[in-house]
Amino acid sequence: MLLLEVISGERLPKPERGKMRVHKINNVNKALDFIASKGVKLVSIGAEEIVDGNAKMTLGMIWTIILRFAIQDISVEETSAKEGLLLWCQRKTAPYKNVNVQNFHISWKDGLAFNALIHRHRPDLIDYDSLRKDDPITNLNNAFEVAEKHLDIPKMLDAEDIVNTARPDEKAIMTYVSSFYHAFSGAQKAETAANRICKVLAVNQENEQMMEDYEKLASDLLEWIRRTIPWLENRTQEKTVNDMQAKQEDFRDYRRVHKPPKVQEKCQLEISFNTLQTKLRLSNRPAFMPSEGRMVSDINTAWHNLEGAEKGYEEWILSEIRRLERLEHLAEKFHQKAAIHESWTDGKEAMLTQKDYETSTLSEVKALLRKHEAFESDLAAHQDRVEQIAAIAQELNELDYYDAASVNARCSKICDQWDNLGALTHSRKDSLERTEKQLESIDELYLEYAKRAAPFNNWMEGAMEDLQDMFIVHNIDEIQGLITAHEQFKETLPEANKEREAIQSIQAEVQKIAQSNGIKLSGGNPYTSITPQSIDNKWEKAMAMVPQRDKALQEELNKQNSNDTLRATFATQANAVGAYIQAKMEEIGRISIEMNGTLEDQLTHLREYQQNIMSYMPEINKLEADHQHIQEALIFDNKYTSYTMEHLRVGWEQLLTTIARTINEVENQILTRDAKGISQEQLYEYRASFNHFDKKRSGQMVSDDFRALLISTGNSLGDSEFNRIMGLVDPNSTGSVTFQAFIDFMSRETTDTDTADQVIASFKILAGDKNYITADELRRELPPDQAEYCIARMAPYSGPDAVPGALDYMSFSTALYGESDL
């Protein structure tokens, strides 16, 4: 009872003075009751065993007293007594070589740990560098003697017992070490103050690094966008389809290779910005304002401009490819028709300008006149071709064909020559008609042959021209139209063959009459240059072209069928991907407002959900491959789906960004909960209240709903108080409040955080109650990097009690919380 009174500082009940066993048992019970009143549970220790001299029970009781009154009050960072004492020893001996405190037995056998504890607090009492690890007895005795002589710590242990025991008594060493803890308890306050400062400085350093990282990432992304947009806005036209297809391939490389990493950088930038702002709010720091032009909204605006430029560039490339294909087709058609016309007009001017009728006989003049009539018929038949050539040339000019100058020159030459032919034809006809009265009529059969042979020959030339005509189609309906027209043409061939046979029969009749009457024909038909042989040759050539045309049309039909298959393949995949993205977006919306499990469970579920979504990436890649096949086949429409690749890309990027933002919101809620000490039950209550008043289930509520929510939590709000709260939860005046802003507000209202005054008080402890602190004191009490951080940023102290090297910790602490300029 006397021992308990001494170590507790309290008075126990008056002991019984009798010498009988019952008196002794009662006195021991009074001591045991006092120990129990201090919250100590006594297990298997009874008064009878103590009175009977049970050594084991007596020692157990003594250890219980030591543990309660000498060790239990020891606490380091909210650990238990034993763990706290061990953690204190580890921190104090960490800088010393050959010392590694892991327990309270073998870690102390060489004596260096005891000497390190004394040297850490009183370096003037021990020359630690002179101690040797291989001389444990000397080390132990040195520590015991110094502790007893200078620190008033009794010598509780024997050096030989510790060294010669494989595992020294843990309780004895804990008891002895606790004496050092109590002896140096004053230094513990300084350590606590240093820990508080270290914590604050660590937060500040981490925030500054995150700000620098954000600024660099934002600058790099904006610079990339600035360089890329001019390239996408370049509309320099190319001359050929191949050149434009090369540009299209470069654009595909940009979409596949260059843009995806920048999408990830943009998403990471938004996540880093939100996390930084959350950390700043939780640590009572001012909100981070990026440099001008580097806000998240600035980056979103630049990104929107980039995507607009992308869309415009892609549409321009496809439009240019169509235009150049059309131009190349028209140019080839122009030159083909021009060549045929030039071939026909070759020598016609010379023929029309000759004056052979002046020396001809009557029959010869008649023949010349009729030949000229046949030529006029032929000339009229070629009028359509000349008009077609002029129309094609005009269309090439309207479509800005690069070689329009040569086309115009050739067209102008043809038109001038045609006008000249018309004038010469009219002049020659007048001349022949003037002499017609003097001439005999000529053989009508020749004339009939010429009149029928010329249009038939022209028809054959037109048919051959059509059979060789180039065509461009974009779907099955167009090629089916060409095939139908070709079949209709083939149905006219029997009638055309009858006309050919009729023309040939005219020539046969001429030969028959000549042979019957013994007429010797001199040369061919005087009215036309079209011979029966040339008609047969052209007919055979035209008939040979028919199966070639059949083959070309069938090949194009097969191509369009293949293109239609590509459309259907892309549409099937696009419809599946579009439905998947829409379903996942709706699921994420539901997940973000539901309360299932702890925040950690929700975070784990969201990350698993994110992995599940990322596992769908092969389907997106497959769709990209199908889309590439569509573009390579120059397919510009798809009746099987309303989705475009651009819409699906945007939807996929929005899906990835939404799940990343949702994960970030849960992470920020965990940060808020841990930093503010909010329980899981409180978070459930906050979420349930927020969801109840979030009528639209959008994750945001309008100000009227938010006022109702605050009133439901017991707040009685006037207009001025509500406007103040809205200024906190909606600083940008958007008119809506997010769940994160709501729990930030509730955590500020219900929890406490470090303040500038608390940091100033901690610095004052380290400075020994002085109004300034020195660099040596900072280096002694703080880790090296944080000590140098403070020294570099503290202004010199200028108070009346200033000494050389004094630093102003008060203004530094105030600046940490944004209350003045650092």
pLDDT confidence band for 351 (50 / 70 / 90): confident
List, in sequence order, the alpha helices (H) in 437-492: 444-467, 476-491
Helix (H, G, I), strand (E, B) or coil at 702: strand
Question: Burial, 522: exposed, middle or buried (Cβ in 10 Å; 0-12, 13-18, 19+)?
Answer: exposed
Q: What is the mean pLDDT of residues 555-581?
A: 86
Q: Residue 533: which H helix or E strand, with range?
A: helix 532-593
| Measured distance CA(9)–CA(69) in Å, rounded | 11
Token representation of residue 587: 């699921």
Token representation of residue 522: 């001199």
pLDDT, position 337: 84
Helix (H, G, I), strand (E, B) or coil at 630: helix
pLDDT confidence band for 595 (50 / 70 / 90): low
Token representation of residue 243: 């050149």
DSSP character for 474? S
Confirm whether 194-327 and 348-554 share one CATH topology.
yes
Q: So where are the chain's domains?
A: 1-192, 194-327, 348-554, 576-586+604-662, 701-737
Considering the four listed CATH numbers 1.10.630.10, 1.10.418.10, 2.40.110.10, 1.10.10.10, the one that applies to the domain covering 1-192 is 1.10.418.10
- Exposed e or buried b per residue across 311-331, where buried means at least 16 C-beta atoms within 10 angstroms of its C-beta: eebbebbeebbbbbeebbebb
Q: Which of 306-315, 361-370, 396-405 is most confident?
A: 306-315
pLDDT, position 112: 92
pLDDT, position 521: 58
SS3 content of the chain, % helix, strand, coil (to 5): 75, 0, 25
**Which pLDDT tens digit goes with each residue over 294-345?**
888 888 998 999 889 889 988 888 887 787 777 778 888 888 888 888 888 8
| Measured distance CA(300)–CA(294) in Å, rounded | 10
Contact present, 265 and 221 (Cβ < 8 Å) = yes
Token representation of residue 785: 């990097």
- Exposed e or buried b per residue across 433-454, where buried means at least 16 C-beta atoms within 10 angstroms of its C-beta: eebeeebeebbeebbbbbbbbb
Radius of gyration of the chain from its Cα atoms, rounded to whole angstroms: 52
| Measured distance CA(203)–CA(197) in Å, rounded | 10
User: In this structure, what are the phi and psi dihedrals at residue 700, rounded to the nearest 5 degrees?
Assistant: -140, 150
pLDDT, position 438: 40
| Measured distance CA(104)–CA(118) in Å, rounded | 17
Query: Is the backbone of residue 525 left (phi > 0), alpha (psi -120 to 50) or beta?
Result: beta
The angle subtended at Cα 693 by Cα 689 and Cα 698, nearest 5°, is 110
pLDDT confidence band for 820 (50 / 70 / 90): very low
Q: How far from the centroid of its chain's Cα atoms is residue 493's Cα?
A: 64
Considering the four listed CATH numbers 3.30.1330.20, 1.20.58.60, 3.40.710.10, 3.40.50.170, the one that applies to the domain covering 348-554 is 1.20.58.60
Helix (H, G, I), strand (E, B) or coil at 520: coil
| Measured distance CA(348)–CA(529) in Å, rounded | 12
DSSP character for 808? E
pLDDT, position 100: 92
The per-type count for the chain, helices as H runs and strands as E runs, is: 32, 4
The residue that leads in pLDDT, 747 or 643, is: 643
**Which pLDDT tens digit goes with each residue over 93-136?**
999 988 999 998 999 999 999 999 999 888 999 998 899 989 99
| Measured distance CA(318)–CA(320) in Å, rounded | 5
Helix (H, G, I), strand (E, B) or coil at 450: helix
pLDDT, position 189: 62
Using CA atoms in the order 212, 217, 218, 219, what is the torsion angle rounded to 10 degrees?
A: 90
| Measured distance CA(138)–CA(415) in Å, rounded | 123
Q: How far from the centroid of its chain's Cα atoms is residue 595's Cα?
A: 28
**Percentage of the chain exceeding pLDDT 90:** 7
Helix (H, G, I), strand (E, B) or coil at 767: coil
Q: Please name every residue paired with 736 in a beta bridge, in sequence order, or none if there are none.
A: 702
Distances (CA, A) of 661 to 272, 603, 666: 11, 12, 9
Helix (H, G, I), strand (E, B) or coil at 736: strand
User: In this structure, what are the phi and psi dihedrals at residue 38, rounded to the nearest 5 degrees?
Assistant: -90, 10
Helix (H, G, I), strand (E, B) or coil at 133: coil
DSSP character for 68? I
Q: What is the mean pLDDT of residues 400-423?
A: 85
Token representation of residue 482: 């060409």
**Which pLDDT tens digit goes with each residue over 25-43?**
889 988 888 888 877 777 7
Helix (H, G, I), strand (E, B) or coil at 782: coil
Distances (CA, A) of 84 to 120, 191, 649: 18, 14, 56
pLDDT, position 819: 47
| Measured distance CA(177)–CA(88) in Å, rounded | 10
pLDDT confidence band for 514 (50 / 70 / 90): low
Q: What is the mean pLDDT of residues 566-573?
A: 86
Collect all residues with Cβ–Cβ distance below 8 Å to 152 and sequence separation of at least 6.
183
**pLDDT of 435 above 90:** no
**pLDDT of 5 above 90:** no
pLDDT, position 335: 86
User: In this structure, what are the phi and psi dihedrals at residue 634, rounded to the nearest 5 degrees?
Assistant: 60, 45
| Measured distance CA(366)–CA(527) in Å, rounded | 10
| Measured distance CA(361)–CA(359) in Å, rounded | 7
| Measured distance CA(342)–CA(464) in Å, rounded | 17
Token representation of residue 498: 């009858």
Contact present, 751 and 677 (Cβ < 8 Å) = yes
Collect all residues with Cβ–Cβ distance below 8 Å to 130 and sequence separation of at least 6.
none
Considering the four listed CATH numbers 1.20.58.60, 3.40.50.10420, 3.40.50.300, 1.10.3660.10, the one that applies to the domain covering 194-327 is 1.20.58.60
**Which pLDDT tens digit goes with each residue over 222-278?**
899 898 889 888 877 777 778 877 887 888 888 888 889 988 888 988 888 888 888
Helix (H, G, I), strand (E, B) or coil at 481: helix
**pLDDT of 73 above 70:** no
Collect all residues with Cβ–Cβ distance below 8 Å to 730 and sequence separation of at least 6.
703, 736, 737, 741
